[in-house]
Amino acid sequence: MASLCLNSFSPPSPSQPRRLFEPSFPSSSSSSSLTRNNYTLKPIVVRGNPPTFVSAPGRRIVAVGDLHGDLKQTRLALEMAGVLGSDTQDLWTGGQTVLIQLGDILDRGEDEIAILSLLRSLDVQARAKGGAVFQVNGNHETMNVEGDFRYVDSGAFDECLDFMEYLEDYRDHFEEAFLNWIQVSERWKDQRKSQNFWGPMNLVKKQKGVIARSILYRPGGRLACELAQHAVVLKVNDWVFCHGGLLPHHVAYGIERMNREVSQWMKGLGESGNSPFPFIATRGYDSVVWNRLYSRDFGDLDDFEIQQINSILEDTLEAVGAKAMVVGHTPQTAGVNCKYNCSIWRVDVGMSSGVLNSRPEVLEIRDDKVRVIRSKRDRFSELQVVNYL
């Protein structure tokens, strides 16, 4: 596995990259790369564990913001992005597209595990087509692994209890069970809601839901280990993706180092069985998952503050070798937008019914052009187009 820290700002050596997967080809094809519009696409190459640096030559990239447990809105956003069919069969329709979800799948909604399962299922399907699905963890993922359940929807506790009972039928086949959960979660939810628990029985059931969630998300738990497979900072080609925002001291610390430390903590690994808490990535107002510096409203800033923030952003992008950054975390009431000469894109629109219940929007990056997709019917909306040349 690659071991690269960007505090030296040196590129990985050619021997470090690995092909995460090979695309599938027709039996008649003898080529080792995909063909699109009469030119070939090289395989996607990933460095780091969890994935930190991704080379995805020629791919269309789609970024989706915070989902917060709302499966209906999640499906709508993915359909708009052109990566999910609208026939309720949850099939990948994105071909060689790379989908990136910016974190905060957990809290404020009741279908969190179903969304995690859906994204994993789509990733498996996408790999077979030469595409991929990546996730970055947000502050609500790290909060739940810490045991902070302040923002958990009551239905999400119920989903955890349902999922634990469902796992009993699979015993040692968690991977299969997790992939299949998206297919059966609605049935379990409907069955649960048809059983009206009142009084003491309801209280006991809620307590069991809290216990189930603690077991699933504690460091080393089944779903904590699932989250541990995802980064807090992901660089795809010359774009960097994270939930809150990357700062120069994060880059100096080493983004692969941060990803690895968060992953080990979520897995419950460490020198004495408990990995030290990855403070720089997950705690504090300027940590990667909590930072809101780049998402502040210009109306709240004076010219000097804007210049300072722009300078910090420029230094960060130069250090990490990226042309722009994409973040979630802070709902944008005006929709997906860019600031600081479009060096930062803010893609959290508060689409979950537990937040703003706003219209889903997604960001598309194709070659040197960026578009905001704001309508299912007009997938390539010209409302906001930026060329990076």
Which of the residues are catalytic? Answer: 140
Q: How far apart are the first and last CA of the chain?
A: 33
Q: What's the number of CA atoms in the CB half-sphere (13 Å) around residue 362? A: 29
132 has which bridge partners?
98
Strand order in the sheet with 362-366: 132-135, 98-101, 60-64, 362-366, 369-373, 385-387
Fill in the amino acid letter for 375: S
Per-position DSSP letters for 7-45, written without gaps between them? TS-PPPPTTS-EES------TT---SSEEETTEEEPPPE
Would you state the structure tokens that stand for residue 205, as one six-digit string?
């059931």
Angstrom CA distances, 324 to 243, 248, 341, 380, 384, stand at 14, 14, 10, 20, 16
Return all residues near 192 (Cβ < 8 A) that are at least 6 apart. 158, 162
- Three-state DSSP class for 333? coil
Closest by CA position to 103, among listed 132, 63, 75: 63
Q: Is the dihedral of CA 56, 59, 65, 71 positive or negative?
A: negative
Return all residues near 382 (Cβ < 8 A) that are at least 6 apart. 371
How far apart, in whole angstroms, are the C-alpha atoms of residue 224 and residue 350?
Answer: 24
Fill in the amino acid letter for 21: F
Residue pointed to by tokens 């040692």: 172
